[in-house]
Structures are given as C-alpha cells and as structure tokens.
Chains A and B, each alone.
Chain A
Amino acid sequence: MVNYIIRRLFGGAIMLFAVSIATFLIFFGLPRLAGATPESFAARYVGPRATAEVQAQAAEKLGLNDPLYEQYGRWVKAIFVGADYDYGPAVEHCPAPCFGYSFITKRPVFDDLLDRLPVTASLALGAAVIWLLAGVATGVLSALRRGSLFDRFAMGTALAGVSLPIFFTGTLALSIFSYGRPFDWTARGSSYTPITEDPGMWAYNLILPWITLAFLYAAAYARNTRAGMLETMGEDYIRTARAKGLRERTVVVKHGLRGALTPIITIFGLDLGLLLGGAVLTETTFSLQGIGKFTIEAINKGDFPRIMGVTMLAAFFIVIANLVVDLLYAVVDPRVRLS
C-alpha cells in the first residue's frame, strides 16, 4: 500500500514534469517560431514603450537570450527555490514556489493564485456536496421507479441540466432569485466573504453559484446513478439480499447503491480535481474572483507567467485527484488490488 502510494506519487511527479515541459515550450518555444525575439519577450516586463536599448538589456538580464533548456531549467528551479528577477530598473525577489511575476499585477503569480484559490475551492466543494447528494438521490429514486412520472420528470430535467450552459442557467437564476424578477433572495454575484470571517455570509454569497454549478453536474450524476442502479438492482446478489428478508431500504442502499457508487466515485474525484483548476464559466457568470476568472484575464492579456502557473496548478490537482480516486477505489471495492 505504502509502496503503491510512493510509486503513484513518483508517477504523478513525472506527469507534472511532462506538463511543465509542454507548457514551457508552448509559451517560450512556439512564439519564436512565429517570429518572437528575446526583446519582444522582454518588452512584456519592461513595457512596450521602453526603448529598444532597455528592452535588449532586460532581455539579457532576464536570460531570454540563453538556450531554451537553460531558461526552462531556471523556470523549474524557481518553482523549487525561488528566484530574483533583475530586469533593469529594479530587482524583485520571488520566493519559492515561484511561477514568475505576472506582467499585469506585478505580483508573484503564486501569491495571486493563493488569493484566488479559496474562492474557487469554496465554489467547487460546496457545489460538489450539493450535486453529489442531489444527483445520486435523484438517480436512485428514478431507477427504483423506472417509467414513473417522477422518473420521466427527473430525467427530462437532467437532460436540460446537461444541455444548458452555465451562462444561461446562471444568468436566469440571477435574474429570478437576485434581481427581483420576482425574488430578491440571494447575493447579486461578485461578492465573496471568506468562511473564516463569516460562514453565514460565505454561504449566502455562494448559494446561487453553487446551485447553478451543481445543477449541471447533478444532472450527469443522476443519469449515471440511475443507469448504475438499474444494473446493480438486477444483480443476483440483490436477489440474495431480498431472500435473506432484509428490508427493502437496506437492499437498495446497502446492497444496490454500494455497487452502483463505485463508478460515481471515480468521476466525482476527477470532476472535482478539474473544477479546482478553475470553474471558468461559473466564476465569470457570477463575477467571482477565482482561479477561472483569473485564467481568463491572463489569457486575454497574454500574461504568460500566470497562464503557466494556472496550468501547473490545474495539472497538480488532477494528478492528486487521480491518485485519491484510485486509493478510494481500493477501499470501496475489495477486489481491486493496489499493486
């Protein structure tokens, strides 16, 4: 078990290494093919209005004239030990883990990410709880009453849920529940209170984004759970459970749902890992200053260090989520051997 975890962590590190090379090549290698010069890179740091001489100096000091592998080495080294950026007018120290300086905010990328992460984490985790409970419960009820009015209504709603984009459902929800058409119950977006400050306000501000985001996922989970339940409820071991004289609820939850839940756990882990790297549409729709919004800004402004930082962060979450899912799998299904 410990062996397995160590091996998987090692594998995850290799994966992140590969992602870092790819990311670096995309942002520092590809532009050269398109005609970018060390000076044009340097202009991002010192500003486009700096003289050609200043740009050339900055390029030299920032090491942009060095071969790519040396630049990559410096970028990775900075992540582990930090770095000093000397681009002429000033020297800035960027502590480890250093993903460089943002061109726009002039702050270390990692500090910015740390500022934004609680918003995205609050959004993703809250929504995850809602969609897991609502999706699985709906799926189970639908499967048990297959063909009933409830089933048809739930599956119709689920189809809408997976088909409608967040910027539609989110805007609609805001209009109905926040902007007084007809209700004025929830926050109007763009506000976030840390849970440590005021848990009530935290939940009040996030409830609508949670539900909107959860609706999308709950729909998929309801459909998956329903399909899984229909399959497991037809298994021989369900018949055995009934033959023992167990209550129907025990048969459904302890024997049926337990069997159907394994694939749900897998997608749940991956979905959550993916969301922690930024819920772009939800954050944009509700103007939440999370990782997703941060990424969009970075892309719009060509802020390479930020984009690279976010990419690495997202890759990190997915690697971890994968590992956790595999470990959970072994806990849930005793037939799975971790070796």
Chain B
Amino acid sequence: MNTVISPRPSAEATSFLELRDLKIHFPTDDGVVKSVDGLSFSLERGKTLGIVGESGSGKSVSSLGILGIYHQQNAKISGEIWLDGQELVSSSREQVRQLRGKRMAMIFQDPLSAMHPYYTVGAQIVEAYRVHNNVSKKVARKHAIDMLGRVGIPQPDRRVDDHPHQFSGGMRQRAMIAMALSCDPELLIADEPTTALDVTVQAQILDLMRDLQREFNSALIIITHDLGVTAELADDVLVMYGGKCIEYGSAEDIFERPEHPYTWGLLGSMPRLDRPVTDRLLPIKGTPPSLINVPSGCAFHPRCAFADRTGGASRRDVPELLSLDSGKHRVRCHLTAPERRQIWQNEIKPNLEGVA
C-alpha cells in the first residue's frame, strides 16, 4: 500500500521520524510559492528538535505538512516523510488522517483562536479522544478530566465544562496540550506554543512540556522564533530560511559554534539580561525573502554582511548543506569553514558577549 513515487529508490527509514527532501509548493497566479524546499532531518523518540526561523521561513508549513494538513488543496508535495516505518507522503489521506491526533499531534499557537469558541474545553478533548478510541462518552469525559488534571488545571472536574473563553491564556494553552496528548501521541509538534503567553506563564508551559515529553517518551518538534525557548528545550536545532534548512546541529553547536551568518543574526537579535542595557540589539537588516521570488544563489545573500567575501558565488549558486567535521553539524554557506570560524571569533562573538 505504500507505493513510493519518489524517483530514487529509497530504503526504509531507521529513525522514528525522518524527512527526506520534503518539498511543499503552492502554485499561485503570481508563481510557485516554495514554502518548503528540500527539507531533511530525523528525530528519535524522547528527543526534541527546535525549528527556528523568521515568519514565512516555512517552519509551520513543514510541520503541518508532516501531519498531512495543507492550507490549499492544490499543494504540490514531494519527498518522503517516514513515521516509525510508514511513509506518509505516499499514504492515502485516510491513512494519514487516522494517524493524525493519534500517533502525531500538534499544539498550536494562540489557543484562543485554535480552540472552537462554541464547544466546551471538555467536549473538544472528548472529541479528540473518541476519534481514535472506541469508548463511551462517559469514559472519554473521565479521560478528559484526567488529562486536564495532568497538565495542571485546578479543579479539572469543574473546568471541563467551561468554554475556552472562560479560561486564562495559560490555562487555555494547558488545555490545548491536554487535547494534543489525549491519545498518547509519539510525535508532538508544538507551533510557537508560548508566543501568545506572558513571560511567567511561558516558563510554566515549557516546564510542563518538558515533563510530559519525558513521561510519554514522545519525539517533540518545537517551532519557534524565540531562541530562548529553543535553548531551554531542544536537543537539536534546525534553522530555516526561505523554505530551506540553512544550519542544523546540536543545541550546543548552534549556540556555542554557530556557523551561518543568519544564525549569528538570530543570536544577535536575542535580548539578554547579561548584557549592559546600553548595548543595542543587533537586528538582522532587511526583510525575509518572498517565497515566490527567492533571491538567486544563497537566499540570504541580500541581507548578509559577508556576501561580498564569497567572490560572487553567493549571488550565483545555491550553496549545499554540507556536514562539518564535528558530525551532525551541517551548514549551507559559501564561506569556507575557516573563514566562518574566524568571523565568528573575531567579529561576532565579542559583540554578542558585550566585551567590545
């Protein structure tokens, strides 16, 4: 039943989740929007991957793509998504639907709009549970109360009948998490789970997600533009730009030895308490690229301060995502590794640490 249409013969994946050259393109009147353009990564159970990037870099589209949800019906998808030995791109919609919510679940940004305003929180969790479990409403309701209690909602047996608007922002996000976890998913994708929350609540939610991930031993993908969240949770980090992965590595690699100028920029735009307040943040100049007219060569070159050091290659050729000697750390940049390391050591790192 898994007829793989991929042109090259492919072996079954060995990791729990493995993406191979995933492309999600949307044909529009203005041209093809390449939201995700050749994304590959793998993730084991119990591990956390942070996907980082600006708005419109393809983070959300790729994660929704894993779940088989596409904003438009005319989306063109190619590549492979392996979930525990099953290939999803070539599976039927019905097969993917049955996995959705059960083996892979998603926590969305802004739970006020992500939950249906007309149904009670309990009813929405019950619904999520009963799609995949053939149980009575009574049993499902008990399960919903149990889940609400586990995510730290006080008096869950009473709050279960409240509507989303009767919850506070943090409580709503907890309820959203309870809903996503109701079927014990093995893969959990959290799309900016803390963006709509205030800072004290953010920390609680992150703690909760980390605890629950350990408890359920699930693979976690956390999508964010907040590097602080990534540093807090992720084992591995994937930096996306213009629909492509431009740097991938362990959290330590990305935070201690970042190689891509864009990653440097992200680190520079991160507010830090250990820096004197007189220092300005270092935002990345320019705006994210249009996904219809992606800049030639390296998509980041119009905004890159070091593009002229590549001798024009960055304007001409799309750089390959190449492994560095240290193992899984990979980067997509025309600068040579020694050049990058030198720039990082001499020009970037001192600024970030406020030593200069």
Residues of A within 8 A of B (CB): 235-237, 239-247, 255, 258-259, 332-335
Contacts and interface: CB of A to CB of B under 8 A. Distances in A.
A258 B118 contact: yes
Contacts of A244: 100-101, 105, 127-128, 131, 179
7 contacts: A239-B114, A243-B69, A245-B98, A245-B128, A246-B127, A246-B131, A334-B120
Interface string B83-108: 00000000000000111111001101
Q: Closest 10 A-B residue pairs measured CB to CB?
A: A245-B101, A245-B100, A236-B113, A244-B101, A244-B128, A237-B116, A236-B114, A243-B106, A334-B163, A240-B114
A334 B131 contact: no
B66 to A, nearest CB: 11
A150 to B, nearest CB: 15
Interface of A is mostly: helix
Contacts of A241: 116
Contacts, number: 70
Contact of A240 (B99, B115, B163): B115
A335 B106 contact: no
Contact of B97 (A236, A245, A255): A245
Chain B's interface size range is 20 to 34
Nearest to B132: A245
B67 interface: yes
B114 A334 contact: no
A333 B116 CA distance: 11
B165 interface: yes
Contacts of B115: 237, 240
A246 to B, nearest CB: 6
B354 interface: no
A335 B163 contact: yes
Contacts of B235: none
Nearest to A237: B116
Given A246-B101, A255-B116, 4 more contacts: A237-B114, A239-B108, A239-B114, A243-B67
Among B105, B110, B118, B163: residue with most chain A CB under 10 A = B118
Contact of B113 (A235, A333, A334): A235
Contacts of A245: 97-102, 128, 131-132
A144 to B, nearest CB: 10
Contacts of B312: none
B299 to A, nearest CB: 27
A335 B165 contact: yes
B228 interface: no
B198 to A, nearest CB: 20
A247 B98 CA distance: 9
Interface in B67-92: 67, 69
Contacts of B154: none
Interface in B128-187: 128, 131-132, 163, 165, 179-180
A236 B108 contact: yes
Nearest to A235: B113
Given A237-B115, A334-B163, A242 B110 contact: no
Contacts of A236: 108, 110, 113-114
Nearest to A238: B116
